[in-house]
Amino acid sequence: MCFQKTDDPAWHADAVYQLYAQNEAQDEYSLCWRDRIVYIDFEGIPAAEQIAIAVEKLSK
């Protein structure tokens, strides 16, 4: 297993890494901003609406 960088702008983060296992995307992410790093584990690959809610909560 390893984290791979993704260029998904939906996260509004400086860098986003998604966990991969056996070349399959998993539901775990590391989100990086200048002053913090957040690890988030969803129950399945998140839909755009779930990402938007996470971004809203994390931006406060």
**Angle at the Cα of 6 from the Cα atoms of 59 and 32, rounded to 5 degrees:** 35
Given a cut of 80, is residue 23 above it in pLDDT? yes
Q: How confident is the model at residue 3, as a pLDDT?
A: 97
DSSP code per residue over 1-53: -EEEEE--GGG-SSEEEEEEETTEEEEEEEEEETTEEEEEE-SSSPPHHHHHH
- 37-52 pLDDT, tens digit each: 999 999 999 999 999 9
Quote the CA–CA distance of 1 and 13 in Å, as a whole number. 22
Q: How sure is the predictor about 18, in pLDDT bands with cuts at 50, 70 and 90?
A: very high
pTM of structure: 0.87
Q: How confident is the model at residue 7, as a pLDDT?
A: 81
